[in-house]
Structure 1
Amino acid sequence: MIRKALSWLTGVPEIVWPVLALALIVGGVILWDRYDDAQVVEKINRERAAASAQAGVESAEDRADRVRIDLENKQARELAIARAEASEAAKAPEARSTVSAQDRALNCERLRQAGLTGGAKYRELCQ
């Protein structure tokens, strides 16, 4: 069988050998290029996955920081409002600050949107 294949190869004209060699070289380069590209793509995908995992951790830390800051700001705002209300309540009625009708309506609308319509002050000032 091998002798038969070798005898067939010896029967190939000399002009075909360079064409056959060129075809083998081109085929080898194409195979090498595809294999090399697959390795590069895998490497890039691994690097991208590692970078996105790190970004996810950083994003979670940033979200936690924002939540903490928002909570601190909300508590500071509520404390300032409570202090102002206590300060106004301690004053005589005629010495209390006055609020324009537009500001009162805006504040009432804000309370409605926040769902804080059950308090005595709301009923007194907004209805």
Structure 2
Amino acid sequence: MNVRVVKIKVLGEGCFGVVHLVKTIAPVYNKVYAMKSADEDHSSSLRKEEEILQQFVDSPNVVRCHGGFTSVEQERGVVYNMFMEYASEGSLLNLMRKNGGRKQNNNCSLA
């Protein structure tokens, strides 16, 4: 199946990738997801994250992963993308920071 999306905005960035809020335009119109993307050369941790999240697909307390796919982007080349349930309140790390938890550091992590 060929999924087509429109990028709405950047939700976060890391050393090797970016997370966009996207809206599908085909085959289903107007479904909203968070889409994590990394250049193919740096996609191993993203693929591992997808593998781990698939183990918790039935858990109501874990963000659902809807699968991944490879695409070719004009400006970036080959990119691995992972569709995730959009958590409108932000990432767990952002919620921790907002509520006085872990402070921001310079570690590289995909949002």
Q: Shorter-chain TM-score: which interval?
A: under 0.3
Structure of greater Rg: 1
Give the TM-score, by structure 1 length.
0.18
User: Comparing both structures, which one devotes a greater share of its residues to strand?
Assistant: 2
Q: Which has the higher helix share?
A: 1
